[in-house]
Amino acid sequence: MNAEKNARHAARMARKKAIIDAHIAEANIDTGIMILLTGNGKGKSSSAFGMVARSIGHGMKVGVVQFIKNRTDTGEEAFLGKHCEWHVMGDGFTWETQNFEADKARSEEAWAMAAKMLNDPSFDVVVLDELTYCLSYGYLDKEIILRDLESRPEMQHVVVTGRAAVPELREIADTITELNDEKHAYKAGIRAQKGLEW
Amino acid sequence: MNAEKNARHAARMARKKAIIDAHIAEANIDTGIMILLTGNGKGKSSSAFGMVARSIGHGMKVGVVQFIKNRTDTGEEAFLGKHCEWHVMGDGFTWETQNFEADKARSEEAWAMAAKMLNDPSFDVVVLDELTYCLSYGYLDKEIILRDLESRPEMQHVVVTGRAAVPELREIADTITELNDEKHAYKAGIRAQKGLEW
């Protein structure tokens, strides 16, 4: 690499730095935000649990409610559950039970737990793992969910995960990441791997 | 909800269960996989750190190399760094330094650390956070990176994060999630929040 190319690289990076610095200077608000991780790709719950780990590292108080999953042998619960409030409140994926009324009742119990956290300013971060399914399958009343989410303490963050988030959740979220499945080991016959997927 | 609707729900879920069960029966291979988290959306590193937490929960040995970030006050390092090998080896985003040769040298040092882990079967999971930039900016030699990734121990998982992954990384990955930024709090003037983004 010659000096001219080096200089061009430095110039391009300087322009990039100026743009980014200007954005950083503009963004100066601190507030509780709602992050929505949706789409079919692998990494939605993992991402929420990464934020749990970060928050624990800062000494923040975290609550997690799992709406669909029911297994209690996961790595995330074994490790993170020791450092925050962790509630596994699903009864498996909805197609496992095939009983609408039972799933609805279970979801409502889980929401009662979530609502308690969303009403408690001592919680800095609340994770509602796989909540989206409860809305898209009609297990929970959208109006109640939206009201409880929107009336939470001002500085409280909330992270919602799950496929196919309904438009109302997208509307109130501050940050939305859509995770798209470009390739998946599963399709090559590799089953869910310990540590990566549970 | 009437009985008929209940029955239709049960039937639809039963069909879904049959399809999913068939897929699960097919996927029975255990092997080390490479997961690539790319795209512009928030949640790539968080997702990798969630997998770190899961793996620690299962008693697995994890190594993390951060190729670009240089801050050492993050929640993830404070918490997860106590339970795995954690190396912050970047010197800030590349546009901060504007010095190609220095960034290249730093990246090569970071790769030497990564290569050591990728050659050590005692590591169950290796996270290469923001590696993609080192390839797209030409700081690292693609051939060496691909060779070291592909010759790692058979059961070792590797998780690579960062925007704009080059095609060669996509080619060798088993699972690829593209994270798209549908909405970002940043654009509403909200700066990076502790616990969520660092």
Q: Where are the domains of chain A?
A: 1-28, 31-180
pLDDT tier, A181 (very low <50, low <70, confident <90, very high otherwise): very high
Mean predicted confidence (pLDDT) in B157-170: 97
Both structure tokens of B180? 């798209």
Please tell me what DSSP assigns to residue B189: T
Nearest CA in chain A to B124: A195
Q: Write the pLDDT tens digit of every residue in A45-61.
A: 999 999 999 999 999 99
How close B73 gets to chain A, by Cα (Å)?
9
Q: Chain-wide mean pLDDT for chain A?
A: 93
Secondary structure string (H, E, C) spanning chain A? CCHHHHHHHHHHHHHHHHHHHHHHHHCCECCCCEEEEECCCCCHHHHHHHHHHHHHHCCCCEEEEECCCCCCCCHHHHHHCCCCEEEECCCCCHHHHCCHHHHHHHHHHHHHHHHHHHCCCCCCEEEEECHHHHHHCCCCCHHHHHHHHHCCCCCCEEEEECCCCCHHHHHHCCEEEEEEEEECHHHHCECCCCCCCC
Q: Taking the C-alpha atoms of B47, B49, B50 and B53 in order, what is their torsion angle to the nearest 10 degrees?
A: 170
Question: Is pLDDT larger for residue A84 or for residue A16?
Answer: A84
Which tops the pLDDT comparison, A59 or A188?
A59
Q: Given a cut of 80, is residue A20 above it in pLDDT?
A: no
**Which of A98, A157, A180 lies closest to B178 in CB terms?**
A180
Closest residue in B to A124 (Cα–Cα) = B195
Which tokens hold the place of A121? 């300013």
Per-residue pLDDT, A26: 80
Q: Report the share of chain B in percent with pLDDT over 90.
A: 75
User: What is residue A4's predicted lDDT score, i.e. its pLDDT?
Assistant: 82
pLDDT, one tens digit per residue, over A136-167 is 999 999 999 999 999 999 999 999 999 999 99
CATH topology of domain B32-188: Rossmann fold (3.40.50)
Residues of B with Cβ-Cβ distance to A54 under 8 angstroms: 46, 49, 74-76, 79, 194-198
Q: Which residues of chain A are within 8 Å of residue B174 when distances are taken between CB atoms?
A: 183-185, 188, 190
Confidence at residue A16, expressed as pLDDT on a 0 to 100 scale = 78
* Closest B-chain CA to A22: B189
Quick one: fold of A31-180? Rossmann fold (3.40.50)
Rounded to whole angstroms, how far apart are CA atoms B75 and A139? 35
Q: Do A43 and B41 touch (CB under 8 A)?
A: no
Contact at CB, B157 and A195, closer than 8 angstroms? yes
Is A26 part of the contact surface with chain B (CB cutoff 8 Å)?
yes
pLDDT per residue as tens digits for the range B125-144: 999 999 999 999 999 999 99
pLDDT at A133: 95
A114 Cα to chain B: minimum distance (Å):
19
In angstroms, what separates the C-alpha of B96 from chain A's closest C-alpha? 6
Percent of residues, chain A, with pLDDT higher than 90: 75
Order across the sheet with A125-129: list the strands: A85-88, A62-66, A125-129, A157-161, A34-38, A175-183, B175-183, B34-38, B157-161, B125-129, B62-66, B85-88
Is A27 in Cβ contact with B191 (below 8 Å)?
yes
Q: Is B179 near chain A, with CB under 8 Å?
A: yes
| pLDDT in the model for residue A98 | 72
Say yes or no for a CB contact (<8 Å) between A95 and B170.
Answer: no
Interface test with B, best of A44, A73, A98 (most B CBs within 10 A): A98
Q: Which of A67, A94, A182 is nearest to B171 (CA)?
A: A182
H/E stretch holding B127? strand B125-129
A177/B174 touch (CB, cutoff 8 Å), yes or no: no
Q: Which residue has the higher pLDDT, B17 or B126?
A: B126
- Where residue B75 falls among pLDDT bands split at 50, 70, 90? very high
ipTM of the complex: 0.92
Region for residue A92 given its phi and psi (left: phi exceeds 0; alpha: psi -120 to 50; beta: otherwise): left
Q: Do A43 and B47 touch (CB under 8 A)?
A: yes
pLDDT of residue B94 exceeding 70, the answer is no
Contacts with B77 from chain A: Cβ below 8 Å: 57
Q: What is the pLDDT of residue A67?
A: 96
Is the pLDDT higher at B16 or at B82?
B82
| Interchain CB contact of B54 with A (< 8 Å) | yes
- pLDDT at position A11: 83
Q: Which of A32-41, B23-32, B96-105 has the highest mean pLDDT?
A: A32-41
Phi, psi torsion values for B165, nearest 5 degrees: -60, 135
Quick one: average pLDDT of A18-23? 79
Q: Which of A175, A176, A195 sits opposite B54 (nearest CB)?
A: A195
Give the tens place of pLDDT for each residue, A29-49.
999 999 999 999 999 999 999
pLDDT at A135 over 70: yes
Residue with the bigger pLDDT between B176 and B92: it is: B176
